[in-house]
């Protein structure tokens, strides 16, 4: 019987449909209820969990009421009252009835015996879920950490994986994406070890959400697709609906409206059938966004209002915040600035508004105030927006610094461990040699001499190795410190200019408020681009870049990019030409990344080439691989600068010094992308009098 229960518990995570079938077969062993039997009780608990996961809420509720009626007979099971309360709470939370769920969880926490550690941790996990649902993220974080501290000593991997996933979601909502990704990866690794399909699906879903936040849509779509396939196999209607909703969001952000609408409609249908108002409100908010993209603003507003009503009824604070931002976007699109401002002020006064939400609201507030001509207040909103964004990136910087410190300490400990292991191995080898040499007589002295020489050389080599590693570590830290100093300088410059402009408008020194506002927007855009480039370059350093290689018609890709740049070049009377020498135009690469490289090169050429200058783009494809080169006319770059222009934040002297609002990271990012493709990029003097940049990607062998 115990074996059957263990198998059912494992099957519940893998296939709740099949689990329910097996439970019904085992129920045939009991002609009548036997509440005094532990096996019968555990069987009923598994049955209630399976029905809840499959969305059979009414049956699960009736089942739990019946089980609760047997409590007087089940007095020998000390954990039974708390177990039943927890199941009732989880069912209420699944139906978005947060008030009832919290009340039942408090009752369960009062009833659970102290020695039942796993059950206590399960109650805390559900409590953290309910607090997260109410946007009480700090409280939820502490509660789930308490749950982790309970199960970590007993090495309950299944629960640890589930709790890590929950903590990752909380950090995601708090805006700490690095911490979120770290705990989701921990959860995913454990779930893979346990072969828990539902757990794997949950981790893939949440990691996909982080990729979506980072605007890495192909990776996000890949994770959501895989999560949807697993969810469909397992049969949980809420999970299936949520995966459809996430895929709808990504398709919308990619501009794929029909696909977004199809997934949205499927998600809404499942959410309506489940009766979960919060999930339905979230699905409707996505549909409202689709209507906005289709410019069907009246329909979008009607849908958003329905979503808001459902979110308020369900007391789903985070969903309510999301829907209200959608409504603000609709009013701004309809030029209803007064309505938008009223809603923004109301939302800003709500408790537990995350920093990311707050920054978005301040940006919309500035946009509305500018449209109404209230420039002074628009500037104040922009200051608040900048402060919120700075706080977000400040937190991210602290996380990155902590990560670097942990990495250095890990390397140090690993190195110390290796040295100890080498010394132990050397001592063991010496001991074995001494044993073998006993009784050898005349050769003993020679052997000792050989061992002595060996030890001396070994120690000398080891010392050289330690010194080399120390030098490399010192160089690495020096480079990182220099990079951090350069980054601080680059951030300080636009911030100082932005501060001067804001102060000029505050004290009415700026004669033209409209021009002053435009200056502020340009500086914010410059600052935002700089921070994005710094973050992207850091991600590349950590090998976090994932290439989405597909067969691409490179000729068509380059022609499209050149056509997009023609209007920009025309503003300076510059010519932009494209030529090719190809055997075949198809090549396997990440089109989005290569587009980013060419955009960077052409943008630099436009900015730094003099008026009436010329730029040429050339494509060569043959058996050796793909070669793309850009060259432009006067002015050029000094020979000593050519080898350094791909270094991060390097400044060229003379006419090509950075004075066009760039981050100084563009060419460094280009080099990282090309190297990730297995290629190389170089700079040389152009025959036209400027700079020639050439990138080469060889053909990759088929796996």
DSSP string, 29-64: T-SS--TT-HHHHHHHHHHHHHHHHTT-HHHHHHHH
Question: Could you read off the pLDDT of 365-396 as tens digits, one per residue?
Answer: 988 998 898 988 888 888 888 887 776 555 44
Radius of gyration of the chain (CA): 31
Average pLDDT (256-263) is 93
Is it the case that residue 512 has pLDDT exceeding 90? no
Average of per-residue pLDDT across 646-662: 55
Give the Cα separation of 657 and 339 in Å (integer).
Answer: 46
Backbone torsions φ then ψ of 43, nearest 5 degrees: -65, -40
Q: How far is CA 137 from the centre of its chain?
A: 18
pLDDT score of 432 more than 70: no
Predicted local distance difference test score (pLDDT) of residue 409: 38
* Beta-carbon count within 10 A of 625 CB: 16
pLDDT digits (tens, 9 = 90+) for 10-64: 777 777 788 888 888 888 877 787 877 888 888 888 888 888 888 888 888 888 8
Whether 483 and 649 have beta carbons less than 8 Å apart is answered as: yes
Report long-range pairs for 354-358 (Cβ below 8 Å, ≥24 apart): 354/135, 354/137, 354/173, 354/174, 354/175, 354/321, 355/175, 355/388, 355/391, 355/392, 355/395, 356/175, 356/392, 357/321, 357/325, 358/388
Is the pTM value of this prediction over 0.75?
A: no
Query: What pLDDT shows up at residue 341?
Result: 92
CB 451: neighbour CB atoms within 10 A?
15
pLDDT bucket at 425, cuts 50 / 70 / 90: low
Tokens of residue 442, six digits: 């005349």
Q: List all residues 6 or more positions away from 688 whose beta carbon is below 8 Å from its beta carbon.
A: 614, 616, 631, 632, 633, 634
Q: How many CB atoms lie within 10 A of CB 303?
A: 24
d(CA 289, CA 329): 9
* Whether the Cβ atoms of residue 367 and residue 382 lie closer than 8 Å to each other: no
**Average pLDDT estimate for 147-175:** 88
Query: In the chain, pLDDT over 90 holds for what percent of residues?
Result: 24
Residue 532 binned pLDDT confidence (cut-offs 50, 70, 90): low
Chain segment 167-211, per-residue pLDDT in tens: 988 888 887 777 888 888 888 888 888 887 778 878 888 888 877
Angle between helices 157-174 and 197-213 (to 10 degrees): 20
d(CA 130, CA 139): 10
- CB-CB contact of 246 with 205 (8 Å): yes
pLDDT of residue 476: 52
Quote the pLDDT of residue 654.
44
| Cα–Cα dist 322/282, whole Å | 8
**pLDDT at 258 exceeding the cut of 90:** yes
d(CA 36, CA 73): 6
pLDDT given for residue 697 in this prediction: 94
Q: Say yes or no to pLDDT of 656 above 60.
A: no
- Per DSSP, the residues of 353-410 read --HHHHHHHHHHHHHHHHHTT-HHHHHHHHHHHHHHHHHHHHHHHHHHHHHHHHHHHH
Most confident of 198-207, 448-457, 686-695: 686-695
pLDDT band at 452 (very low <50, low <70, confident <90, very high): low
Question: CA-CA-CA-CA torsion for 383, 389, 390, 394, nearest 10 degrees?
Answer: 160
pLDDT score at 415: 36
pLDDT band for 239, please (50, 70, 90 cuts): confident
Residue pair 146/124 in contact by the 8 Å Cβ criterion: yes
- 651: pLDDT confidence band, cut at 50, 70 and 90? low
d(CA 93, CA 122): 14
User: Is residue 691 scored above 90 in pLDDT?
Assistant: yes
Task: Examine the pLDDT at 623 and tell me if it is beyond 80.
Answer: yes
Q: Can you tell me the mean pLDDT for 618-634?
A: 93
Determine the distance from the C-alpha atom of residue 677 to the mean position of all C-alpha atoms in its chain, rounded to a whole number: 23
Please give the pLDDT value at position 635.
Answer: 87
Predicted local distance difference test score (pLDDT) of residue 657: 42
Confidence of residue 470 (pLDDT cuts 50, 70, 90): low
| Cα 634 to Cα 653: distance, rounded to the nearest angstrom | 15
Coil/strand/helix, residue 633: strand
Determine the angle formed by the axes of helices 2-14 and 38-53, rounding to 10 degrees: 10
At residue 123, the pLDDT reads 94
Q: Burial code of 10-34, b = ≥16 C-beta within 10 A, e = fewer? A: ebbbbbbeebbebbeebeeeeeebe
The neighbouring-strand residues paired with 580 are 619
Q: Look at residues 422, 421, 359, 355 and name the one whose alpha carbon lies nearest to residue 385.
A: 359
Q: Give the pLDDT score at 107.
A: 92
Q: Which residue has the higher pLDDT, 306 or 234?
A: 306
- Per-residue DSSP letter, 302: H
Average pLDDT over residues 588-614: 90
* Residue 308 near residue 325, CB atoms below 8 Å: no
State the pLDDT confidence band at 75, using cuts at 50, 70 and 90.
low
The sheet carrying 575-582 orders its strands as: 575-582, 614-622, 625-633, 689-698, 680-685
pLDDT at 427: 54
Averaged over 459-475, what is the pLDDT? Answer: 63
Q: Does the structure show a pLDDT above 70 at 411? A: no
Taking residues 134-156, report their average pLDDT.
90
State the chain's mean pLDDT as an integer.
80
């Amino acid at each position: 019987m115990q074996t059957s229960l263990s198998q059912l518990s494992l099957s519940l995570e893998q296939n709740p449909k099949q689990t329910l079938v097996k439970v019904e077969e085992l129920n045939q062993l009991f002609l009548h209820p036997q509440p005094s039997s532990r096996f019968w009780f555990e069987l009923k608990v598994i049955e209630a969990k399976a029905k809840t996961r499959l969305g059979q809420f009414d049956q699960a509720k009736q089942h739990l009421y019946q089980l609760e009626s047997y409590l007087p007979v089940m007095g020998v099971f000390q954990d039974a009252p708390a177990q039943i309360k927890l199941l009732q709470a989880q069912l209420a939370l699944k139906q978005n009835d947060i008030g009832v769920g919290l009340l039942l969880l408090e009752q369960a926490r009062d009833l659970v015996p102290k020695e039942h550690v796993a059950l206590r941790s399960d109650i805390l996990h559900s409590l953290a879920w309910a607090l997260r649902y109410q946007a009480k993220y700090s409280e939820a974080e502490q509660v789930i950490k308490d749950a982790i501290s309970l199960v970590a000593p007993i090495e309950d991997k299944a629960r640890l994986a589930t709790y890590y996933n929950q903590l990752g979601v909380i950090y995601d909502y708090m805006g700490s994406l690095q911490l979120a990704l770290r705990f989701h990866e921990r959860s995913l690794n454990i779930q893979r070890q346990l072969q828990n399909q539902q757990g794997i699906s949950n981790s893939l879903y949440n990691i996909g959400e982080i990729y979506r936040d980072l605007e890495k849509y192909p990776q996000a779509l890949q994770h959501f697709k895989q999560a949807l396939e697993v969810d469909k196999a397992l049969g949980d209607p809420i999970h299936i609906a949520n995966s459809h909703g996430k895929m709808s969001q990504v398709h919308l952000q990619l501009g794929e409206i029909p696909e977004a609408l199809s997934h949205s409609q499927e998600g809404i249908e499942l959410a309506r059938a489940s009766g979960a108002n919060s999930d339905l409100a979230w699905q409707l908010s996505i549909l409202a966004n689709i209507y906005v993209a289709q410019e069907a603003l009246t329909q979008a507003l009607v849908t958003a209002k329905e979503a808001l009503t459902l979110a308020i009824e369900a007391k789903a604070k985070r969903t309510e915040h999301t829907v209200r931002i959608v409504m603000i976007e609709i009013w701004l699109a309809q030029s209803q600035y007064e309505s938008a401002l009223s809603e923004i002020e109301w939302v800003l006064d709500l408790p537990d508004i995350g920093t990311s939400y707050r920054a978005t609201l301040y940006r919309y507030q500035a946009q509305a105030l500018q449209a109404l001509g209230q420039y002074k207040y628009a500037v104040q909103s922009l200051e608040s927006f900048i402060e919120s964004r700075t706080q977000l990136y400040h937190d991210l910087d602290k996380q990155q610094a902590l990560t670097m410190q942990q990495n250095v300490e890990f390397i140090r400990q690993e190195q110390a461990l290796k040295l100890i292991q080498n010394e132990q191995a050397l001592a063991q080898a010496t001991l074995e040699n001494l044993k073998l040499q006993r009784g050898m007589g005349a050769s003993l002295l020679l052997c000792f001499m050989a061992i002595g020489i060996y030890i001396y050389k070994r120690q000398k080599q080891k010392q050289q190795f330690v010194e080399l590693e120390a030098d490399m570590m010192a160089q690495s830290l020096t480079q990182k410190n220099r990079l951090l100093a350069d980054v601080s300088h680059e951030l300080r410059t636009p911030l100082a200019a932005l501060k001067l402009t804001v102060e000029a408008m505050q004290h009415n020194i700026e004669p033209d408020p409209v021009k002053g506002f435009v200056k502020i927007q340009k500086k914010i855009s410059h600052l935002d681009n700089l921070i994005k480039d710094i973050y992207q370059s850091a991600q590349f350093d950590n090998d976090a870049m994932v290439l989405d290689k597909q067969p691409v018609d490179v000729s068509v890709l380059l022609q499209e990019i050149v056509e997009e740049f023609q209007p920009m070049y025309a503003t300076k009377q510059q010519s932009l030409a494209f030529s090719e020498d190809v055997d075949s135009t198809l090549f396997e690469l990440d089109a989005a990344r290569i587009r980013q490289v060419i955009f960077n090169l052409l943008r630099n050429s436009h900015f730094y080439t003099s008026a009436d200058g010329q730029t040429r783009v050339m494509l060569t494809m043959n058996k050796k691989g793909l070669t793309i080169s850009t060259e432009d006319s006067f002015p050029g770059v000094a020979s000593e600068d050519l080898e350094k222009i791909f270094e991060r934040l390097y400044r060229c002297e003379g006419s090509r010094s950075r004075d066009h609002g760039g981050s100084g990271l563009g060419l460094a990012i280009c080099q990282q992308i090309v190297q990730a493709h297995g290629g190389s990029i170089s700079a040389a003097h152009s025959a036209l009098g400027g700079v020639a940049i050439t990138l080469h990607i060889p053909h990759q062998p088929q796996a």
